[in-house]
Amino acid sequence: MNLDTNIDNNTLLKKDNINFKGKLSRWYRFLLTNKGIFFGSLITFIVIFCVVFAPLVTTYDPLKQDITKRLTPPMWQDGGSIEHILGTDSMGRDLLTRIIYGGRFSLLLGLTSVLIALMVGTLFGLITGYYGGFLENILMRIVDIQLGFPFIILVVIILSIAEPTFWVLSALFSLLLWPGYARVVRSILLSEKSAAYVLAAKSLGASDFRIIIIYIARNIIPSMLLMSTMDIATIIITEAMLGFVGLGTPPPAPTWGNIMADGKNYISTAWWVITFPGVAIWITLFGINLFGDNLQQFVNPKLRKKY
Amino acid sequence: MKQIIIKRLIIGLFVILVVTMLTFALLQLFPGDPAKMIAPWAGEETLIEIRKSFGLDSPFHIQVLKFYQDALKGDFGESFFYREEVRTLLFSYFPRTIYLTLGALLMALVISIPLGVLSALNRDSFIDRIVLFISITSQSLPNFWLALMFILFFAVKLGLFPAGGYGSWQHLFLPSFALACTLIATFIRSIRSMMIDVLEQDFIKASEARGIPRLYIIKKGLRNTFVPLLTLFTMQLGYMLGGAVVIEFIFNYPGIGLLAMQAVLRRDYPLIQGLVVLISTVFIILNLLVDLSYTYLDPRIRKEEL
């Protein structure tokens, strides 16, 4: 890698920014005019807003117990009150509050794990895709192992050894996800590497670093964005599932998974405890998937005219 | 082509080797003594005996080597908990999971074919939007939660289907339905886009102009979607196997998912190893099939990726 040329090319870089414009404005136009993307991100933003500003949305403390009010039904059922809109759980805690605070955990977990996986995977994919050889072989074998490993068993084994804290879970998820990113980045790189514009840049003396960062990286961004939204959705579901079978973060701190695990014990008497966290997941993932689905049409133009 | 398959199979063997090794290493990290799990109230002498009879007293590398030696003969030892050959256990539990998966496939096809065709025929209409809504919803619902809702509604409230267990097709219905959930989304989408592709082709327009019935045209179009759907299904199988673990857990359905869950919770080392080998083998074969079907469908990647 030759970094010197990069400094010399600073002026050129600015000029390139202008050239970006055409591509970027196409992006904006697509993002703004596509209804699916609009509604998808609207739903997602509302969820994120509720979760981030949880203390403003609800005045209850998610951990405050009130045994006298345990298992109060939601407000529209007999015995429910306006005080607890979605009712209370087995400890008399407000369910809506717990779901909102639980969303903090799930969303943050998804975001953190995907960011780590994205960074590691992209870096590894870029290096292996561009240089090939030995590292590439190692990467492909790691991907093979990852594809061949029954990950659910791995996760269950690890979580019964290690305490499933936030960081353990995010480390685990990013460990599972990064080879996927590396693989996609690598395959895009492979197809772009021999493209005419890269050859042109090379013959003009551009460094490897510059070619990867300036020319190829931006072709990768849409695919990466798509993959990360889909992966965040998967992580949210998986976390809930792990919590549900009792392998997620232990109470009292609420997560969508452990609220459901608690609700499972009262499924015949208090349907709401287990139902509403699922509804919360559904709304959140609906937003994310609607967004991702439409983004896919941008990433993969073949699909565009069909939806 | 032959070379590619052989190469992939060798890689597959390598993967199984690494995966079992990893599992071994992870199991070593388990807190607690497996001998104690087998006989919780046994005295020290009995514990030593148990360790000896299961080979738990020998050093790590000897255990690993012995495992490979036996595994090559197709022998995965005896389950700590069931006191049965792991092989027999796998043979009796695995088919049930296959039934479950096939049930899910059938369910997904029954639901998504009419919906996909309907939305392709009424593109960008209200119906299309509703189908889109259904497909994204089915993609967004956690399947274990859906399973619980099914139990709550169909089993507890209406009493139409049993809430769990194994035996008749009724026992299969709810778990397969819950498992089909994610498949439905992908199926609807691909059926829709492939149908649109077909409907736009000249020969369809020509036959329409000649007054050939719509139904015939749809049948023609559906035939084209068959191979891609199979590929999609195979791709989803790995994900479905993960989902099956929880679904089987919820419905108390005795397939390999439930077996795996219990094996880990009971520290049943030989059973865990056997399951890991079985599932990774299935994954590897499926991945190979998917890649091969890709090369079959799209000859351009024939040289590069594999």
A9 has a pLDDT exceeding 60:
no
Q: What pLDDT is attached to residue A114?
A: 93
Report yes or no on A12 lying in a domain.
no
Most confident range, picked from A3-12, A258-267, B234-243: A258-267
For residue A65, the number of C-alpha atoms closer than 13 Å in the C-beta half-sphere is: 7
pLDDT at A11 over 50: no
Residue B32: per-residue pLDDT: 64
Q: Which residue has the higher pLDDT, A111 or A130?
A: A111
Query: Which chain B residue has its CA at the smallest distance from A40's CA?
Result: B136
What's CA B4's distance to the chain center, in Å?
25
User: Given B193, B196, B249, which is nearest A245 (Cβ)?
Assistant: B249
CB atoms within 10 A of CB A238: 27
Q: How far apart are the first and last CA of chain B?
A: 10
In this prediction, residue A125 carries a pLDDT of 83
List, as own/partner pairs, every contact residues B155-159 make where C-beta atoms lie below 8 angstroms and the sequence separation is at least 24, other chains included. Answer: B156/A268
How sure is the predictor about A115, in pLDDT bands with cuts at 50, 70 and 90? Answer: very high
pLDDT > 60? residue A23: no
Q: Which of B152, B246, B279 sits opposite A241 (nearest CB)?
A: B246
Lowest-pLDDT range of A9-13, A63-67, A185-189, B82-86: A9-13
Looking at residue B124, what is its pLDDT? 78
Q: How many CB atoms lie within 10 A of CB A83?
A: 11
Please check whether residue A6 lies inside any domain of the structure: no
CA atoms within 13 A on the CB side of B90: 20
Average pLDDT over chain A, rounded to an integer: 76
Using an 8 Å CB-CB cutoff, list chain B residues near A289: 136, 139-140
3-state secondary structure of B246: helix
Q: Which of B234, B8, B293, B6 is nearest to B105 (CA)?
A: B234
pLDDT in tens, B204-222: 778 778 887 777 777 777 7
Residue A50: inside a domain: yes
Establish if A29 belongs to a structural domain: no
Is B261 in CB contact (< 8 Å) with chain A?
yes
Q: What is the pLDDT of residue A75?
A: 67
Residues of B (81-100) whose Cβ lies below 8 Å from A: none
Residues 29-58 of B with CB under 8 A from A: 29-31
Q: The domain containing residue A48 runs over which residues?
A: 34-299
Written as six digits, the tokens of B159 are 């009493």
Provide the CA B250 distance to its chain's centre, in angstroms. 16
Which of 253-282 (A) contact B at CB < 8 A?
Answer: 260, 264, 267-268, 271, 274-275, 277-278, 281-282
Can you give the pTM of this predicted structure?
A: 0.80
- Tokens at A36, concatenated: 């699916």
pLDDT score, position A113: 93
Report residue A22's pLDDT band, with 50, 70 and 90 as the boundaries: low
- Answer yes or no: do B29 and A161 touch at CB < 8 A: yes
Segment A20-41 shows an average pLDDT of 69
Q: Classify residue A157: in a domain, yes or no.
A: yes
User: From CA B64, how far away is CA B131, in angstroms rounded?
Assistant: 52
Lowest mean pLDDT, pick from A167-176, A253-262, B57-66: B57-66
In this prediction, residue A72 has a pLDDT band, given cuts at 50, 70 and 90, of low
Q: Where are the alpha helices (DSSP H) in chain A?
A: 4-8, 10-33, 35-52, 54-57, 95-131, 133-148, 151-161, 166-193, 196-203, 208-210, 217-244, 256-264, 271-299
Residues in chain B with CB shorter than 8 Å from the CB of A260 are: 145
pLDDT digits (tens, 9 = 90+) for A174-195: 888 888 888 888 888 777 777 7
- pLDDT score of A116: 93
Number of domains in chain A: 1
Query: A86: distance to nearest CA of chain B, Å?
Result: 17
Q: Measured between beta carbons, which residues in chain B are less than 8 angstroms from residue A245?
A: 246, 249, 261
Cα–Cα distances (Å) from A179 to A136, A156, B219, in that order, read 12, 20, 40
Mean pLDDT per segment of 10 residues, for chain B of length 306 residues?
79 83 77 67 72 69 75 73 79 87 89 88 84 88 86 78 72 85 85 81 79 77 74 76 83 85 80 84 80 65 47
Yes or no, beta carbons of B136 and A289 under 8 Å apart: yes
Dihedral pair phi/psi, residue B289, rounded to 5°: -65, -40
Cβ–Cβ under 8 Å, residues A182 and A121: yes
| Token output for A75 | 């407000």
Taking the Cβ of residue A138 and every Cβ of chain B, the question of whether any pair is shorter than 8 Å is answered with no
Question: Which position has the higher pLDDT, A74 or A182?
Answer: A182
Domain contains A7 = no
Does the residue A2 lie in any domain?
no
pLDDT class of A10 with cuts at 50, 70, 90: very low
Q: Packing angle between helix B86-121 and helix B169-199, nearest 10 degrees?
A: 40
Contact (CB, 8 A) for B221 and B212: no
Q: Is the pLDDT reported for residue A292 higher than 80?
A: yes
Residue by residue, DSSP assigns A119-185 as HHHHHHHHHHHHH-HHHHHHHHHHHHHHHHS-HHHHHHHHHHHS---HHHHHHHHHHHHHHHHHHHH
The shortest CB-CB distance from B264 to any of A156, A278, A290 is to: A156
Burial of A134 (0-12, 13-18, 19+ CB in 10 A): exposed
Q: Are A281 and A232 in contact (CB under 8 A)?
A: no
Q: Between A212 and A283, whose confidence is greater?
A: A283
Flag whether A114 is in a domain: yes
Whether the complex's predicted ipTM surpasses the cut of 0.90: no
The mean per-residue pLDDT over the stretch A29-41 comes to 77
Separation between Cα atoms, residue A58 and residue A81, nearest integer Å: 15
Q: Which helix (H) or strand (E) holds B292?
A: helix B269-297
The beta-carbon neighbor of B261 closest among A156, A190, A306 is: A156
- Count how many Cα atoms sit within 13 Å of the Cα of residue B117 in the half-sphere of its side chain: 17
Q: Mark yes or no for CB contact B283/A147 under 8 Å.
A: yes
Q: Is the pLDDT of residue A30 over 70?
A: no
Q: B106 CB near a chain A CB, below 8 Å?
A: no
Q: What is the pLDDT of residue A54?
A: 75
Q: What is the CATH number of the domain that holds A260?
A: 1.10.3720.10
